[in-house]
Amino acid sequence: MGLSAFALTLGASAELPMVQQTFEYPDNEPAPCHPVPTQRQVLWQECEFYAFFHYGMNTYTDLEWGNGNESNNTFAPTAAPNPRQWLEACKAAGMTGGIAVVKHHDGFCLWPTETTDHRCTNSSNAYAQQTNIPRDFAAAAKDLGMNYGFYISPWDRNSAYYGTDKYVKDVFMKQCDELAQYGSDQFEMWFDGANGGSGYYGGANDTRSVDASTYYDVPNLRDYIHKIAPNCVMWGVGEEARWIGNESGYAGETNWCMMDRGAASENSNRNSGQEEGWIWLPGESDAKATSAGWFWHSNQTDLTAERLFQMYLETVGRNSNLILNVPPDKSGSLPTSTVNTLKSLGEMLTSRLGNDLAPAATVEVSESRTNGTARTYDAANLTDGDKDTYWAPNDGTTSATITLTWPEARTIRYVSLMEYIIKGQRVKGFKIETSTDGSNWTTKAPGIAQTTIGYKRIIPLNGSTSSSYDAGTSAKYLRITIEDSRACPLLHTISVY
Ligand code: FUL
């Protein structure tokens, strides 16, 4: 039956006029190595380093997790909350934007939402009544040319409806919708994983637990938000970017953007991803820049700029985004000490990673694929400052060398490599060597696993992320050897500092 139907189809199509098809690839582009990111995920990975601002009811109660029964009047800023000041301080630190917490687990909302009475505008405090963090945060970010987004806790210890479908439909989804209306160019919505447990729940004072993987109707929520804010990555519960597995500011030296779906694989592979993972789920590392908690506490101290620089190397420098938390205090602004630390960090990043020596070098590669009509693949693409051009060898080539030569020796400390991830993450082993004469080579940073590259990898040549800035290495030649790759390696930028 099946066979004769097949023959019939074939016979019928044989009668049709032949359609001439040509399968040419005039650009000679390498095939993608799956899985590959969505365009939204690529844009998100380009954000690299941004801030987290935990501000809200807990700022006034000294708690980290409010119970949900706090009086609206307890939220009492001593001045008008100033998101512009938050963002300006973070811009000075070299950050590209930030995420403002506008509803934490206590359910208290920092905007005039219609979904609950538990909100800032119902406080007796005059500054609170005027507060609208999403409005002011979005406006400041747009003005400063920074990325912005919001943290909205799915878990709500205030809502009487938490645990029912009504909560998801009439409270949580509506709150996400209201927030999406504050800007279609949001880059990320942050959905925390903590949920279920004891709480006030409208006076019930009981314990409620949900299955987060089904309860929040994430597929519909994601589609809905993307219609309003097309480039908004839905973090965590939203399944477009993954938690790096710790809150201490480090990713695995080996770190793939790929992951198998499902809590089991995610739980055990968050820090390093999975080489054979079948979805693109890049890592984000959330870490605190202060000692006490996510929210402001009177006894907090600021971590040193040197420690934050180390975090940067161990996250952004290991193929992970870094979201660094700086908490505004009771006045609704960042404390001066935090502002100063951020400024020092920015100066450190500029002086250590701000002056790229690679464009002054000549670059030679062991092999480049044949250029296409509208695309080239040669070594010059590695140092042209253009993320959309890349170097590529032939299909089937999985090892290669790239050699940079300066007219005279330079003092160097860091090498930064970036894969053209639009076509998948590929490199699985590499090494870096330097030479002063072109014949005697020294392998650098042998203690650091030189495995994956991904979106970005920064190698401190002295092999230490905690004391990376030393007298440096004198080198006239720098050789990067790709030793193994899932498919032909594609790099778009090499930088040397
Ligand atoms: C956690 C939350 O429970 C913390 O309070 C904080 O918001 C952190 C960023 O995520 O899971």
Ligand 1 contacts CB of residue 294 (under 6 A) = yes
Q: Counting beta carbons within 10 angstroms of the beta carbon of residue 56, is it exposed (0 to 12), middle (13 to 18) or buried (19 or more)?
A: buried
Contact 87, 135 (CB under 8 A): no
Query: How many whole angstroms from 6 Cα to the centroid of ligand 1?
Result: 58
Measured from the CA of 104, which atom of ligand 1 is nearest?
7
Query: How many whole angstroms from 65 Cα to the centroid of ligand 1?
Result: 9
Contact 322, 316 (CB under 8 A): yes
225, two tokens = 């938000």
Query: How many whole angstroms from 197 Cα to the centroid of ligand 1?
Result: 14
Longest Cα pair distance anywhere in the chain, in angstroms? 84
Taking the alpha carbons at both ends of the chain, their separation in whole angstroms is: 69
Question: Which residue from 108, 294, 322, 326 has its CB within 8 A of the most atoms of ligand 1, so it is best to mutate?
Answer: 294
Cα–Cα dist 334/320, whole Å: 26
Question: Which residue from 192, 247, 290, 326 has its CB within 8 A of the most atoms of ligand 1, so it is best to mutate?
Answer: 192
| Ligand 1 atom 4 nearest Cα | 294
Query: How many whole angstroms from 151 Cα to the centroid of ligand 1?
Result: 10
- Provide the pLDDT for residue 9: 43
Q: For residue 479, which amino acid is it?
A: R
pLDDT by residue for the chain (497 residues), tens digit each?
333 333 334 444 455 566 655 557 889 999 999 999 999 999 999 999 999 999 999 999 999 999 999 999 999 999 999 999 999 999 999 999 999 999 999 999 999 999 999 999 999 999 999 999 999 999 999 999 999 999 999 999 999 999 999 999 999 999 999 999 999 999 999 998 878 799 999 999 999 999 988 999 989 999 999 999 999 999 987 889 999 999 999 999 999 999 998 766 778 899 999 999 999 999 999 999 999 999 999 999 999 999 999 999 999 999 999 999 999 999 999 999 999 999 999 999 999 999 999 999 999 999 999 999 999 999 999 999 999 999 999 999 999 999 999 999 999 999 999 999 999 999 999 999 999 999 999 999 999 999 999 999 999 999 999 999 999 999 999 999 999 999 999 999 999 99
37, two tokens = 């990111």
